[in-house]
Amino acid sequence: MESAPAIQKLLDELERMPGIGPKSAQRIAYWMLNSDRGTVLRLADAIVEVKNTVHFCSRCFNYAEGEVCEICASSRRNAAILCVVSEPRDIAAIERTAAFSGLYHVLGGVLSPMDGVGPDDLHIAELLQRLADDTVEEVVLATNPNVEGETTAAYLARLIKPLGLKVTRLASGLPVGGDLEFADEVTLGRAIESRRAL
């Protein structure tokens, strides 16, 4: 069945979003059509507002509405520990744990020669500049535990260690509630390597 041109345009735009397939796009579009005008206009206004007001923090490259993000502006954060992540969404994941009180630095991706992403395409020069002022004592490399993330972490460690700073990597291993028999060899191996004293 053919959709009206306006509906088809909406479906096409929704399907361009990550994680939204044809069925999800259809559900969202029909929710919009069945919602009152005010609800849909508030959604549209929120989308326009976020595009107009949110930009990258000039210090860490997280999302910000001011010159710097709320984390960089906070006096309660420990400036001696800097956590390096790939994307701003990684900060949100770490912040949800409430286990980290330092500052962040967003690379804007990971090294991926196959995709044409090299060191000059990431915020590595800005990271090294931040480390030059002797405030940071430890750099936590929190890139994903995949090939690109591991490559990026190894590359950064080679650059940072000569500066005399402590360089750490997020531990990886078994999830809480997991069974050893179902763990893959790489995950189980990392859990053994990252073991800690009790």
| 65/45 Cα distance (integer angstroms) | 16
pLDDT above 70 for 40: yes
pLDDT above 60 for 82: yes
Read off the pLDDT band of 190 (50, 70, 90).
confident
**Cβ atoms of 87 and 132 closer than 8 Å:** no
pLDDT digit string, tens, across residues 165-185? 999 998 877 777 777 777 777
pLDDT digit string, tens, across residues 130-155? 999 889 999 999 999 888 999 999 99
pLDDT digit string, tens, across residues 95-127? 998 899 999 999 999 999 999 999 999 999 999
Read off the pLDDT band of 196 (50, 70, 90).
confident
Instruction: Name residue 106's beta-bridge partners.
Output: 85
- Which position has the token pair 């345009």? 9
pLDDT above 80 for 55: yes
Q: Closest Cα to residue 110, out of 80, 81, 74, 147?
A: 147
**Cβ atoms of 148 and 112 closer than 8 Å:** yes
Predicted local confidence at residue 30, as pLDDT = 95
Q: How far is CA 163 from the centre of its chain?
A: 25
**Cβ atoms of 167 and 161 closer than 8 Å:** yes
Reading the block at residue 146, the tokens are 């995949």
Least confident of 39-48, 109-118, 184-193: 184-193
pLDDT above 70 for 8: yes
- What residue ranges in 125-165 does DSSP mark as E strands? 138-141
Predicted local confidence at residue 170, as pLDDT = 86
Instruction: Name residue 85's beta-bridge partners.
Output: 106
Predicted local confidence at residue 198, as pLDDT = 63
pTM across the whole model: 0.83
- The share of the chain scoring above pLDDT 90, in percent, equals 79
pLDDT above 70 for 2: no
- The share of the chain scoring above pLDDT 70, in percent, equals 97
29, containing H or E segment? helix 22-34
Q: What b/e sequence results for 121-140 when a residue is b if at least 16 CB atoms lie within 10 Å of its CB, and e otherwise?
A: ebbbebbeebbeeeebeebb
In the chain, how long is the greatest CA-to-CA distance? 66
**Cβ atoms of 165 and 132 closer than 8 Å:** no
